[in-house]
A and B are shown apart, each in its own frame.
Chain A
Amino acid sequence: MDWLFIKEYYPLYIRSAVLTITIGVLGIVLSVIVGMICALCRYYKIPLLNGIAAAYTELSRNTPLIVQLFFLFFGLPKVGIVLSPEACGTIGLAFLGGGYMSESFLSGLGSVRKIHLEAAASLGLNGAQTMKSVILPQAASVSTPAVCANVIFLLKETSVFSAVSLADLMYTAKDLIGMYYNTTEALTMLVIAYLIMILPISIVFTLLERRLRHERV
C-alpha cells in the first residue's frame, strides 16, 4: 500500500464524494416528488395522467441509468438542448428513481383495506381528509422499507455518472488509475468512500424499519 499516494489524493475523493452526495440527494428528493405525484395519479386513476404515469414508470424502470444519461447528455444536444453534466446526473437519477418510488408508493396506497376507505366515507370524510388521516399513515408504514431500499439503490447507481464526465467518485478513481497506475490504492479509497457514504444510511434505515414493524403490531 502506497500510503503517501493515499495521503496525497484522498482530498480529491472527498471533493468528488461531496459532488456525488449533492447530486444524489437532489436526484433522490426529486424522485420522491415525481414518484408521489405518479403514484397519486395512478391511485386515483386520473384520466390520461394515469396512463402517462404508468408508461413513464415502465420506461424508467426498464432502461439502465447509463442509457438514460446518454440520452440526456448526447441525445438532447442534437435537438438543441444542452445540459451540464451536473444537470444530466440530477435529472437522470430523478427520472430513474421516480419510477421506482412511484411503484413503492403505489403499493403502499393500494395496501389500505377497502373497509377502511368505506368506514372513512361513511363517517363523512371527504377525499382529502381520507387521504391525510386514513390512507397516508397506513401507506407510509407499508412503503417505507421499499422506499429505503430505493434510496440505497439510487445512491449506488450514481457510480455511472462518470460516463457523462461528471467528476464523481468513480471518475476520480479512474482518473488516478489512468495517470499513476496505483490501482490498488485508488480502488481501495473508492470502496471506502462508498462505504462511508452508504453504510450509515443503511444502518439508520434498518433501525427505522425495525421501529415501524413494532409500531404496526
Chain B
Amino acid sequence: MNEDVVIEVRDLKKVFGENVVINGISLTVKKGETVVLIGPSGCGKSTLLRCLNGLEPIQGGSVLLHGEPVEYGKRSLYRIRQKIGMVFQDYGLFPHMTVLDNIMLAPVKVQKRSKQEVTEEAMSLLERVGLGDKAKSYPSQLSGGQQQRAAIVRSLIVHPDIMLLDEITAALDPEMVHEVLNVVLDLAKNGSTMIIVTHEMAFAEAAADRVILMDGGIIVEENPPEKFFRDPDTERARKFLSTFSYSR
C-alpha cells in the first residue's frame, strides 16, 4: 500500500430511502493534498464528507483511512475520528464552554495530553488565526467569522491526518468570508491534507491541488484547478462554472 495515501474511497454508495445520493464514487487523497469538491446544491457533497468520518452508514463500497476501514457504528471510530478533523457550516462550538475550553476538550479528555502543553498550543493556534484575545470568550460573544476560525482551531489541535471542511463560509456575512478563507488557504499552502466543499470559486482555484465536480451521485470531472477552471473536459463542468460567471 502506498504510504502517501491518507484516505481512499472505493465505489461508495449512499442511499436515503429511495434517494440514491452517492452512486459509486472512488477517490484517493494523498498526504499534503488539498482537494476542492464542488457541485450543485443537493448533489451529495455534505453526505460524502459525512460518510468519510463515519457519521452516516453506507450501503456499498468502503472508506479507508491509512488502509483502515471507517465503519459507521464501530468502536474503532472513536480512535479513527481523531485522525479526521471536520468543520461544519454552522460552526458547532459548544455554547456552554469558552473558546479555549472548546479547543482543549478533545486533546485533554480524549487524547489525555497534558493541560499545559495543550494550552500553549491552543494559544499559539488562536494567535495564528487572529483570535489571541478571544480565548476566554463564549461562542455567543463572537462573530460568525470568529466562531468559524475557532472551530478550525478546535479541529486542528487534535492533529488530524485530514481535514474535511463543509461549506464553512456559507453561513457567514460576506465581509467575514475572507478572514476564514485566508486561514484555510494558509493551511493548504503549508501542507495540510484537506477536502474542502465550497461555492467560492476564486478560493477554490487558489487553494486546490485538484478540483472534483460532483453531480447525480457521481464524480463528473476531476482535474487540476488550472485545467478545470480554464478548459474543463466536460460540458457539465462548463455549465456549472457558467452559473457563477455573473459574479466575476
Contacts and interface: CB of A to CB of B under 8 A. Distances in A.
The answer on A and B forming one complex is: yes
Interface of A: 115-116, 118-126, 129, 133-134, 137-138, 141, 216-217
A62 B109 CA distance: 42
Contact of B110 (A118, A129, A134, A138): A129
Contacts, number: 63
Interface in B86-106: 86, 88, 90, 92-96, 105-106
A113 to B, nearest CB: 8
A118 B151 CA distance: 13
A119 B109 CA distance: 15
A216 B81 CA distance: 30
Contacts of A118: 55, 86, 88, 92
Taking each of A115, A121, A123, A134, which has the highest tally of chain B beta carbons within 10 Å of its own beta carbon?
A123
A121 B81 contact: yes
Given A115-B90, A118-B55, A125 B96 contact: no
Contact of B55 (A122, A129, A133): A122
21 contacts: A115-B88, A116-B95, A118-B88, A118-B92, A121-B55, A122-B81, A124-B158, A125-B78, A125-B105, A126-B78, A129-B109, A129-B110, A133-B94, A134-B94, A137-B96, A138-B94, A138-B95, A138-B96, A141-B96, A216-B95, A217-B140
B104 to A, nearest CB: 11
Contacts of B92: 115-116, 118-119
B56 to A, nearest CB: 10
Contacts of A126: 78, 110
